[in-house]
Amino acid sequence: MLAAGFAILGTGSERVLIRGIGPGLVQFGVAGALAAPRITVFDSNNAPIATNAGWDGSVTLSAAFTQVGAFSLVQGSADCALMLTL
């Protein structure tokens, strides 16, 4: 298990793209990548506010990948991604 964190401070909101890549790393020669990553985002009270497991090919997320220069994911793969306004 890998746990990563970040904090968004201030009174405004920020749009974030969060990706959990496992099988998609194989094309880059990464050995031992997670077979089925899962993303869960928690609020400051440790309550889950979003989760994702498995890539559904969302057009909105695909456009975001292109916008930020991230590589695309194979539709139906076990990789995961979320775009949230926090």
Q: Which amino acid is at 61?
A: L
Q: What is the pLDDT along the chain (86 residues), one digit of tens a residue?
A: 777 888 888 888 999 999 999 999 999 999 999 999 999 999 889 999 999 998 888 888 999 999 999 999 988 899 999 999 99
The residue among 58, 68, 86, 73 whose CA lies nearest residue 20 is 73
**Global pTM?**
0.85
Q: How far is CA 77 from CA 3, 31, 44, 65, in A?
A: 21, 17, 30, 15
| Tokens 């609020």 belong to residue | 43
Alpha carbons 16 and 65: distance in angstroms, whole number: 11
